[in-house]
A and B are shown apart, each in its own frame.
Chain A
Amino acid sequence: MSHDDKKVHLSEAVLLSQQPVAGSAYVMLQLQAPELAGSARPGQFVQIRLDSLLPLRRALSILDAEPATGRLTLLVQQHGQTGERLARVRPGEGLNILGPLGHGFQYHRRRPVPVLVGEGFHAVSLLFLARFLQRQGIEPYLWLAATPPLVQRGENPDEVERWLQRLGIAAHLALPRPTAAPEYQDIGLHLGEQVATFLHRQPEHQSLCELFVAGSMGLLRVFAQLATSQRLPAQASAFAPMACALGGCWGCAVPLRGHKHQRMARACVEGPVLPLRRLVPPPG
């Protein structure tokens, strides 16, 4: 799934539909964008122009792309600048969109058991990966943290579960446990325990599985440790504020560990998907 040589398209995509999902916390946008949908891969993203007065476009992970129909699906949080501005766009109107961008997830046939773990809004890229793999007859294992913003405080996670079912995605939703520990760190540990238990109960999977992770640095730390202890290959989606998204401005640098030195990688072209263990600083 390496697509670095593919062209990026700047186009006026027609909005087909806007659909509130998961208790109206999100809006699912379906766009007619044949060039983008034809080459987009899981883990890649697009940039949307919100307003001519805003100097920067907004980066959004791709929720789904269907080459046959030319449809591209994005998920936007209802609240916040991006959601509020996009809510004004009506079906039939155009959205200026740049993509597909970045380096996505790579599925390796020698590791045929994909284990996907997501937390927060960045888990969107994993939902695309899950659907992409399913279409190839590969059934992934998917764990999602039922924490904000995926599940809003006080809301029933069943809403999210029903929405995922409608998308044809089976996921284990992990609820946070009452604890004094920081919320995100705790849910990360909780997810780590669940995946570790899964691997322990199915030892035949250990040599076949690969981890695909998207979430906070707390979650990434937990799964970097798990990947090290279980000797699992692991990929993670990194996030950084972006400007050009084409590798020209070096604004989206993320520290990446090397054999000897740390270097700054551009999340927009070298990532956003990067080797998990190189993204996470060593303990201590």
Chain B
Amino acid sequence: MTSPPADNQDQAVTRNPLATTLAGLELATPLVLLSGCVGFGDSLTRVAGFSHASVGAVILKGTTLQPSVGAAPPRLVETPSGLLNAIGLQNPGVHAVVQRILPRLDMSQTHYIANVCGGTVEEYREVSAVFDDSPIAAIELNISCPNIKAGGIHFGTDPAMAAAVTAACRRVTSKPLLVKLSPSAQPIAAVAQAVTEAGADALCAINTVPGLAIDVHRRRAILGAGGGGLSGPAIRPIALRKVSEVLGVARRAGVPVLGQGGVSNTEDVLAMLLLGARAVGLGTVLFDDPLAANHICAGLLHYLERYGLAGLDDLRLQEDSAGTEGTHGGHKAQHPPH
């Protein structure tokens, strides 16, 4: 396993080349383990060789105000290069998370970020308020939930509703507020703009892509919930495109982007970083390789060394070759890569 170098007395020698920041959080590496893939932070620790030293932050499972039993099984179906899931936000409720689960986490190892879900603006606000009074490092709003007061329209597809959720939560927490954007938003930049103006400290793109699978023999949807969210390598090109669109807004607002969607290896992480993401999420890849963060950190260090780069801040995309003007850190690129 290769981990970023640890700090010691000589900082000039031991500067961690993989260090980055996200919404005020200092991350040891740009890799963030995504909500829905690592439970409440204890699943990967079962695996021999796993270390939080390779992980910048961990986003916990989606949490609602009240306990939720989740969707009826089956909840998963594999698709070509993808995974369709409908878990239905099964969770024990925010009070149980704060009282019973958070005390078990070693907050010194990495940053733990809560993932807040709700059916109303009020629920988002209440859950965020409870997490505000907890040791959690930051709050991510999952705005891909249906608004039960607006006929089930997803908060994340409407700029006004997305802004309302963000503003309500902003008022009850001083912790860094991340907003996870839905690829269904058209255009995604409009929602990014709305939540940024409402107080988001970082933008996360993208959530899963809505999908459906049919069992032709039973003549019904395979998933118990009907439709689900598609993740995995199948959505990677969509994610890159959506991230590039979000980056335009993020640069102007001066907020960082957590790029995610089908990221599976070092090259995928580099693509997101070169595009301009400040950090990169790992999700479905963890089901294939629970030690993916270790392997990708080693790959990133190798890449930096190969091209003589001191750190992630030196990563630059060929100027505007992706039509984004995006760079790591939100500044316009001035130099082509070495």
Contacts and interface: CB of A to CB of B under 8 A. Distances in A.
Given A55-B233, A55-B288, A253 B73 contact: yes
Contacts of B78: 54-56
Contact of B47 (A10, A54, A241, A251): A10
Contacts of A242: 76
Interface in B265-303: 284-291
B83 A7 contact: no
B77 interface: yes
Given A7-B47, A244-B286, A264 B81 contact: no
Given A55-B287, A253-B90, A246 B82 contact: no
A49 interface: yes
B46 A10 contact: no
A57 B288 contact: yes
Contacts of B49: 10
A240 interface: yes
Nearest to B80: A53
A98 B292 CA distance: 13
A79 interface: no
A9 interface: yes
A250 B44 contact: no
A8 B46 contact: yes
The contact size tier of chain B is 35 or more
A87 to B, nearest CB: 20
Given A7-B47, A7-B48, A57-B287, A248 B75 contact: no
Given A55-B78, A253-B90, A263-B69, A248 B48 contact: no
Contact of B83 (A8, A10, A55, A263): A55
Contacts of A252: 73, 75-76
Given A53-B81, A243-B85, A10 B291 contact: yes
A240 B38 CA distance: 18
B288 A250 contact: no
Contacts of B232: 55
A89 interface: no
Residue with the highest number of chain A CB atoms closer than 10 Å, among B37, B43, B48: B43
A94 interface: no
Interface string B27-50: 000000000111100111011110
B74 interface: yes
B48 A249 contact: no
A7 B73 CA distance: 28
The contact size tier of chain A is 20 to 34
A247 interface: yes
Interface of A is mostly: loop
A255 B87 CA distance: 13
Contacts of A129: none
B125 interface: no
A250 B39 contact: yes
A182 to B, nearest CB: 15
A8 B49 CA distance: 9
Given A55-B233, A56-B83, A57-B288, A9 B74 contact: no
Interface string A242-284: 1111111111111100000011100000000000000000000
Interface string B230-245: 0011000000000000
A12 to B, nearest CB: 12
B131 to A, nearest CB: 20
Residue with the highest number of chain B CB atoms closer than 10 Å, among A7, A52, A248: A248
A241 B74 CA distance: 7
Residue with the highest number of chain B CB atoms closer than 10 Å, among A240, A241, A254: A241
B211 interface: no
B48 A240 contact: no
B87 A251 contact: yes
B70 interface: yes
Contact of B77 (A35, A241, A250, A264): A241
B170 interface: no
Interface in A11-37: 35
Contact of B38 (A7, A248, A264): A248
B316 interface: no
A251 B81 contact: no
A49 B47 CA distance: 16
Interface of A: 7-10, 35, 49, 52-57, 98, 240-255, 262-264
For the complex of A and B, the 7 pairs showing the least CB-CB separation, nearest first, are A248-B43, A248-B39, A246-B43, A251-B76, A55-B232, A7-B48, A243-B287
